[in-house]
Amino acid sequence: MAKYKKLTPELIEGFLDKMFGRIATQAGKQVAKDMGKKDPKVGKKLARVAALVKDIENDMKGMSKAQKSKFERDLWKRAGVK
């Protein structure tokens, strides 16, 4: 298992923001795969996140523009962002 040093809440939050923002891109998938080799626990969780992102994107493809907007607002509201 990989060993991590000096994990501050700001560092963790910044990492998660960047990782989840890029998980749908090819580069993000490659980073998740590399991390999975170094730390299998993290790799499994990132693989689940990638599958969820893909599933949500597929669900949103069939929505109208108004439905997408409402879905995004509700999602952000539940997350406590907006």
Domain edges within the chain: 9-79
pLDDT score at 58: 83
- Label residue 2 by pLDDT band (50, 70, 90): low
- The reply to whether the predicted model has a pTM over 0.75 is no
Q: Which of 7-11, 47-51, 64-68, 69-73 has the lowest mean pLDDT?
A: 7-11
Q: Is 66 helix (H, G, I), strand (E, B) or coil?
A: helix
Q: What is the CA radius of gyration of the chain?
A: 15
The tokens for 22 are: 């890029």
Q: Compute the Cα dihedral for 50, 67, 69, 13 and give only its sign.
A: negative
